[in-house]
Amino acid sequence: MTDQTTTVSPPEVIVVESRKVSCDGGGGALGHPMVWYEMGDEDFVVCGYCDRRFILKGGVEDPDRP
């Protein structure tokens, strides 16, 4: 029996100043199709392709919020 541990990196977090964001995976040809998201009533949105988390600057989820 082997003991394997899989480490999964947390999704990338990007702080933005607009409630409307676009994502293409950031990998050029290795990314994904360009998609647009609206945050609506939330202060964040998660890309359905690559799990990037877009957080509104100054919002509740903002890690630099005082």
Q: What is the pTM of this model?
A: 0.80
- Whether 4 has a pLDDT exceeding 90, the answer reads no
CATH number at residue 28: 2.60.260.40
pLDDT tens-digit map of 8-65: 777 899 999 999 999 999 878 888 999 999 999 999 999 999 999 999 999 998 988 8
Q: b/e per residue, 23-40, with b = 16+ CB within 10 A?
A: bebeeeeeeeeeeebebe
Q: How much is the pLDDT for 22?
A: 97
Q: Which domain holds residue 35?
A: 13-56
Which residues partner with 26 through β-bridges? none
Q: How much is the pLDDT for 3?
A: 67
Q: For residues 64 and 66, what is the distance between their CA atoms, to the nearest angstrom? A: 6
- Whether 2 has a pLDDT exceeding 70, the answer reads no
Which residues partner with 20 through β-bridges? 38
How many structural domains does the chain have?
Answer: 1
Could you tell me the two tokens for 59? 């919002």
Strand pairing class (13-16; 20-23): unpaired
**Residue 39 within a domain:** yes
